[in-house]
Structure 1
Amino acid sequence: MSSARSALAAAAAVVALGGSVSLAAAQDSTRFPVLNHGRGAGEMLVVRSGNSAVVRYLYTDRNRGQRIEARYRFSTSGDVQQAELRQIGPDGAAGEPTVRYEVTGDTARLTLSGGRGGGRGAGRGGPGDGAAQPPMRLEPGTFYRLGGTPWDEALLARHALRQPNRTTRLLPRGTVRADVVAETSVRAGNETQRVRLVMLKAEGGAPSGVWLDDRDEFFATDVEWFITVRPGAESALPALRTLEVAWRNQQAEALAQRLTKVSNAPIVIRNGDVFDAERGVMMPRTTVVIRGDRIEAVGPAESIATPPGAQVIDATGKSVLPGLWDMHTHFQLNSQSTGTLLQLATGITTIRDLAADTDVGVSIRDRANAGKLVAPRTILAGIIEGPGAWAGPTDVLVRTEDEARRAVAMYDSLGYRQIKLYNLTHPDLVPTIAAETRRRGMLLSGHIPRGISVPVALNLGFDEINHAAFLFSNFFPDSLYWPTMRAYSAVAGIVAPNVDVDGAPMTALIDLLRSKRTIIDGTFNLWMGAGALTGQGNPGAPQYARLLKRLHDAGVPIVAGTDNNSGTTYILELELYQHAGIPPAAVLQIATINAARLMKDDREYGSIAPGKVADVIVVNGRPAERISDLRNLEHVIRAGRLYDPKELRAAVGTQ
């Protein structure tokens, strides 16, 4: 949609709210660019007139993104009297409200009609979507967080900063505290602007940030893949990033000092049933001794003495397992104080990140592996993408063979162990990238670049495929382009329910995967959904389950990954494996020793054996019989450091 048409649409929305605005006013409205790693991805148009405002937030994120319109009407004191969220259609027109908030006197009313606007905090209305919520008494200083746009975050920050203790009560529930954590002066066009970073901490969530100017108006978003900024201030973003990174790093390291139990005493896990990942069997009534960051002894409980002064964990009747591996994660800057804690609280002691910003990934990896963060051990894979409107969230875009080689060399120099190719990487560059990764001893994985098939990718040098959906979209390549441009996931979602997974074409593909020893990082939780465990999964869930079982039975290597930054669906991923018919003990091997072997880390990790790094979990249950028992996690040990999962969850406000 053109900028002029967007401005006219916003002006019309202002009029609909009872305001008045001329075309000239619309043309003078503020257009905040939305940047994807420095590249234009869209805009946030803000049109204000009198007591009304309309915000149109549109940007492209690969084949998706945000298309939201927020409408506001304010009281004379500046309080929100009415607010709405609407989805913007392909023609640029806003639809009916999906969220509507309105104040009459001291009463607030909220109506949710489904299909909420996306984005951080969009339409936080609670249960009962699809109808008007019960009226709420509007206490002084309360605020409804409409969400969906960065401008709304600035509204909330400004409101909270003016409340006692900089804390405001949210409707319908919860509180938010605002803290100014950094201030600086930057150039914005021809002016020097004083700005400050306000962190908003809600109950049960990570702090989210927004930069405000000296009038408490929106200036820029915090560090994310997509950043919105005051027009003319784009050059200030590196300085703002440096300040935010320093604050978040300091907060995460302080949190680690508080939560990490430092002790020179040995740890003894006595009389548990230890999972022997190498053989896939349980060893009953076994004791494990940990000294420092290593496993010192493993053996029958009656034959292992407890060292003097040791901390003893009585594991009688419980299961003791190697730490779990999440092989598909995505760091954000705030992951180090939230997501990594939740990963450990799930029993995940090793993660593989597949697309973090380079500075964020390297920093978190190095500090996590040095024990300065509460985080799993981290392995990095570097993303390489091609140019285009649908390019992924990275600044590593390659157009030539020389650029491709330099990108691989850059990642290798930073200690990355794998390259992940993304959707728009040109097929002509794949052989060059494959040869360079092989020469450097790195793995090559990725999405299947548009224009080639799974078999071609394997023959060109792919070691691994990220996402099982490609095994379905592979058979319908024209559907990526016609009758409209679509992503592989959209195509797979349409065709998977109708694919005969036992038919000859899929059988031939599975045979090729087996012969190439291709690793499948399927992220099945994305495609099947939690409902698949009870027969209420996403369309195509039975086909994905059958594919999963066939891959396992054929001996195709499988790794378990979530495709998120907190591990919240990791146990579900493993439960889906058992649901598909993979024996629980084999599922545990996939989650531990098999992943370690595929990453060539099995000398140090992946099983409980003397001399190996002490990554160990204690579970109150029998996950070798019921994978869901992994949810009953009692202790996590990462490199000899003992953590209480309940304390980790409490530290980030979840239970």
Structure 2
Amino acid sequence: MNRPLRSAAHSSNTLAALAIFAASAHAQPATQRWLVLNHGTDAGELVVTSRGDSATARWVYTDRQRGTRTEARYAMGTNGLPVSAEARPVLADGSTGPVNESIALTGDSLRFTSLGMTRTIARTATEFVRLRGGTPWEQAALARALIARPTRSARVNGNSTMRANIVADTLLRANGATQRVRLVMVTTDSSALPTGTWLDERGQLFATEVQWFMTVQPRAVPFMPAMRTIELRWRMAEARRLADKVTTPHKGTVVFRNGNLFDADKGVMVPNTTVVTRNDRIISVGPAASVATPDGATVIDATGKTIMPGMWEMHAHLFAAPFGVAQLSQGLTTARDLASDPDLAVMLRDSEKKGALAAPRYILAGFMEGPLKWRGPSGSLVSTEAQAREWVARYDSLGYKQIKVYNVVHPDLLPTIASEAKKRGMRLSGHIPRGMSMEAAIALGYDEIQHGAFFFSNFFQDSLYVPQMRAYSSVAFAVSPTFDVNGAPMTKLLEMLKAKNTVVDGTFSIWIGNMGITDNAARLKSDSAYVTLIRRMHDLGIQMVPGTDEARSATYPRELQMFEAAGIPRAKILQMATIESARVMNDARDYGSVAEGKVADVLLVNGNPLERLSDLSKLETVMRGGRLYDAAKLKRIVMQLGSIGAASAHGEEDPRFYHPH
């Protein structure tokens, strides 16, 4: 039974069961504390206070100039699981704000409140409830309850089933101490992507899963390296099973017969073309009437369709999750990682190369940050010239092609970083560190700038500090609606970029239409400024490359659409997504176009993206390094993975993943 949405004025009635809080106020409270660690360094805490049949979990930590600040209040049923819950923001002064989400079982109904609206549905067979923006304490409670059931499953929130799987049950050893732990992976009907929780011998939260930020018991810290090894080993085994599932077998030779080939080098369509691949290379490209089909080849009829090179995602971030399938499903056969943990990034890169991972080819850029309060989520922190040289050398030894500098690296270290990177033949790019201008960064050796917002914050340096410390993105939101993109200051900056051959990885789909600007009229003016900026860079011949800054690269089609909105011809956009990105990375000898001798990264599109860019959504076949994938099958797998992580790099769907800018 569905009832209409009602205003939040009724929300005070949605948590009737939370009266348990008042009834149990006389009970002696018990308090537990967990650490929140950013790569082993303190970032905040989770504090849970239990009193009778109620619990309050306050989860607060810093992620650059923002972070998670939430307080969840739970009323517990006789089964020890939440029957009602509400979440509130924790304000800067430590007080709590108004309820922004609640859920409650009341009689035969289940009532939700979110974003100021209330919805009531029939309770059905719901056994417990969970918050969309819940805490690790709640996550562990649900995992503990699930594994105690014979079926290891239960109905939750009225219309979904959660399932648990114990993937590790082991005794950890570190520094002479031992600890019994279980790693529980939980999935739901809406997402087959598992959420991991480590439970201790009492079934309590020991640690959250391996990500940039982890919530852990203080006594868990010595065991974290062993836990990371166990979890990553399991996830890589799952990734291998997924790769086997989605890869289309063939005998080594594949023929794309009689398609219209997009010649990325020339930016034109060549009709009636046949492409032959053998193993991981293209061995023949030519007129369909003259290119023979080898015996035993797998033949794909491309008549009336477009054959084109695989596309490049130039601003990705790698996580311990199968997001590579989502990237392949969009025709991305190369992705440049611009900030990930080195052990994970190298593992994923090498696994893909061996065919054990269904994902694009990964190119790695080494992340470098300063050790200040507003640092990004990384263990690659530098505060001296010696540390800077050591990190560049380490990344070089691991096969990284690029160095990315972040927000609070001290500007005085940039000459050392640039010199060391250039000496090793590595590209240098990044954010513009505080205290430095774009002009200075380019003069000191930046080959590339990440994020279009820096083109606006660059001219308002004081605003990064006054009246308070603010992120560059916040400054850009404030000034972009009224900034004159055609004025002399921007013109001078753009001319410098052109003279220095500086590449721009603008991630424009983040900034255009961004809800960080709440006033609609101002947002439209800001959008116009960014579109004008793109057009000006194109007209000046400044090299731009497409990137999303997302784990799944979900907004890649929109990134290309932003270029089209700025008036860039479709042929040029397709070149930017293929051969020009390959040239930027000095990879054009082997990648970026469909040509004899190059690596077999090939797409088949049932349409003509040279006439309609939106036809890229009609992708039928993906070949990455000779491995063949059915695009429809890839998309079905992506749907099964569900919404979790869909915008994970932005932190909008899943708090386990965080936006890197």
Given that 2:464 and 2:475 are in contact with CA atoms closer than 8 Å, whether structure 1 keeps it comes out as yes
Describe how 1:472-491 pairs up with structure 2 within 5 A: 472-491=456-475
Among 196, 202, 211, the residue aligned to 2:198: 211
Given that 1:493 and 1:539 are in contact with CA atoms closer than 8 Å, whether structure 2 keeps it comes out as no
Among 280, 296, 318, the residue aligned to 1:309: 296
Among 146, 153, 156, the residue aligned to 1:167: 153
Given that 2:124 and 2:158 are in contact with CA atoms closer than 8 Å, whether structure 1 keeps it comes out as no
Counterpart in the other structure of 2:224: 237
Which amino acid is 1:175 matched to? Answer: T
Q: Closer, same or farther in 2 for the Cα pair 1:536/1:580, shift >3 Å?
A: farther
Counterpart in the other structure of 1:364: 348
Structure 1: distance between partners of 2:106 and 2:558 = 44
Deviations, residues 196-224 of structure 1 (Å, cap 9, x unaligned):
00001223342110011223221110000
> Post-superposition shift, 1:141?
3.2
Mark the runs of 5 or more structure 1 residues left unpaired by the alignment. 1-13, 115-129
Counterpart in the other structure of 1:646: 632
Given that 2:126 and 2:159 are in contact with CA atoms closer than 8 Å, whether structure 1 keeps it comes out as no
Q: For 1:372, what is the secondary structure of its paired residue?
A: coil
* More moved, 619-628 vs 142-151: 142-151
* More moved, 93-102 vs 645-654: 645-654
> Post-superposition shift, 1:169?
2.5
Tell me the C-alpha RMSD between the 2 structures: 2.2
Which amino acid is 2:575 matched to? Answer: Q
> Post-superposition shift, 1:624?
1.1
Counterpart in the other structure of 1:340: 324
Describe how 1:279-318 pairs up with structure 2 within 5 A: 279-318=266-305
> Post-superposition shift, 1:138?
4.0
Counterpart in the other structure of 2:108: 106
Among 619, 632, 636, the residue aligned to 1:633: 619
Counterpart in the other structure of 1:591: 577
Counterpart in the other structure of 1:119: none
Structure 2: distance between partners of 1:220 and 1:483 = 38
Counterpart in the other structure of 2:40: 38
* 1:381 maps to 2:365: yes
Q: Closer, same or farther in 2 for the Cα pair 1:96/1:189, shift >3 Å?
A: farther
Mark the runs of 5 or more structure 2 residues left unpaired by the alignment. 1-17, 643-661
> Post-superposition shift, 1:152?
1.6
Given that 2:81 and 2:142 are in contact with CA atoms closer than 8 Å, whether structure 1 keeps it comes out as no
Describe how 1:51-450 pairs up with structure 2 within 5 A: 51-112=53-114, 114=115, 130-139=116-125, 141-186=127-172, 192-202=178-188, 203-334=190-321, 338-450=322-434
Q: Closer, same or farther in 2 for the Cα pair 1:588/1:54, shift >3 Å?
A: same
Q: Closer, same or farther in 2 for the Cα pair 1:448/1:224, shift >3 Å?
A: same
Structure 1: distance between partners of 2:200 and 2:306 = 54
Structure 2: distance between partners of 1:517 and 1:643 = 37
Q: Closer, same or farther in 2 for the Cα pair 1:178/1:654, shift >3 Å?
A: closer
Structure 1: distance between partners of 2:98 and 2:445 = 49
Q: For 1:575, what is the secondary structure of its paired residue?
A: helix
Structure 2: distance between partners of 1:429 and 1:229 = 33
Structure 1: distance between partners of 2:50 and 2:128 = 23
Given that 1:52 and 1:73 are in contact with CA atoms closer than 8 Å, whether structure 2 keeps it comes out as yes
Among 606, 627, 631, the residue aligned to 1:620: 606
Counterpart in the other structure of 1:121: none
* More moved, 213-222 vs 48-57: 213-222
Given that 2:538 and 2:568 are in contact with CA atoms closer than 8 Å, whether structure 1 keeps it comes out as yes
> Post-superposition shift, 1:297?
1.1
Structure 2: distance between partners of 1:569 and 1:588 = 16
> Post-superposition shift, 1:192?
4.5
Q: For 2:111, what is the secondary structure of its paired residue?
A: strand
Structure 2: distance between partners of 1:264 and 1:537 = 53
Q: Closer, same or farther in 2 for the Cα pair 1:380/1:639, shift >3 Å?
A: same
Which amino acid is 1:257 matched to? Answer: D
Structure 1: distance between partners of 2:259 and 2:269 = 10
Structure 1: distance between partners of 2:177 and 2:109 = 43
Given that 1:179 and 1:198 are in contact with CA atoms closer than 8 Å, whether structure 2 keeps it comes out as yes
Given that 1:518 and 1:556 are in contact with CA atoms closer than 8 Å, whether structure 2 keeps it comes out as yes
Which amino acid is 1:217 matched to? Answer: Q
Q: For 1:207, what is the secondary structure of its paired residue?
A: strand
Given that 1:161 and 1:178 are in contact with CA atoms closer than 8 Å, whether structure 2 keeps it comes out as yes
Given that 1:145 and 1:170 are in contact with CA atoms closer than 8 Å, whether structure 2 keeps it comes out as no
Given that 1:188 and 1:232 are in contact with CA atoms closer than 8 Å, whether structure 2 keeps it comes out as no
Q: Closer, same or farther in 2 for the Cα pair 1:136/1:147, shift >3 Å?
A: farther
Deviations, residues 311-346 of structure 1 (Å, cap 9, x unaligned):
111111111110000010000112xxx210000011
Structure 2: distance between partners of 1:606 and 1:190 = 53
Given that 1:464 and 1:520 are in contact with CA atoms closer than 8 Å, whether structure 2 keeps it comes out as yes
* 1:571 maps to 2:557: yes
> Post-superposition shift, 1:524?
0.4
> Post-superposition shift, 1:20?
4.9
Deviations, residues 330-379 of structure 1 (Å, cap 9, x unaligned):
00112xxx210000011000000011101000000011122111011110
Q: Closer, same or farther in 2 for the Cα pair 1:151/1:294, shift >3 Å?
A: same
Q: For 1:298, what is the secondary structure of its paired residue?
A: strand
> Post-superposition shift, 1:80?
1.7
Q: For 1:545, what is the secondary structure of its paired residue?
A: helix
Q: For 2:632, what is the secondary structure of its paired residue?
A: helix
Counterpart in the other structure of 2:11: none
Counterpart in the other structure of 2:21: 17
Structure 1: distance between partners of 2:32 and 2:605 = 55
Deviations, residues 527-549 of structure 1 (Å, cap 9, x unaligned):
014899x9996661111111011
Counterpart in the other structure of 1:554: 540
- Give the TM-score of the pair, scaled to structure 1: 0.91
Q: For 1:57, what is the secondary structure of its paired residue?
A: strand
Structure 2: distance between partners of 1:108 and 1:429 = 57
Counterpart in the other structure of 1:468: 452
Given that 2:248 and 2:630 are in contact with CA atoms closer than 8 Å, whether structure 1 keeps it comes out as no
Which amino acid is 2:300 matched to? Answer: I
Structure 2: distance between partners of 1:541 and 1:164 = 54
Structure 1: distance between partners of 2:522 and 2:243 = 40
Structure 2: distance between partners of 1:388 and 1:73 = 39
> Post-superposition shift, 1:95?
1.1
Structure 2: distance between partners of 1:654 and 1:83 = 26
Given that 1:419 and 1:443 are in contact with CA atoms closer than 8 Å, whether structure 2 keeps it comes out as yes
Deviations, residues 141-166 of structure 1 (Å, cap 9, x unaligned):
35434443111211221232234421
- Give the TM-score of the pair, scaled to structure 2: 0.90
Q: Closer, same or farther in 2 for the Cα pair 1:140/1:377, shift >3 Å?
A: closer
Structure 1: distance between partners of 2:563 and 2:269 = 19
Q: Closer, same or farther in 2 for the Cα pair 1:431/1:470, shift >3 Å?
A: same
Which amino acid is 1:271 matched to? Answer: N
Percent of aligned positions that are identical:
50
Which amino acid is 1:51 matched to? Answer: D
Structure 2: distance between partners of 1:537 and 1:615 = 39
> Post-superposition shift, 1:473?
0.4
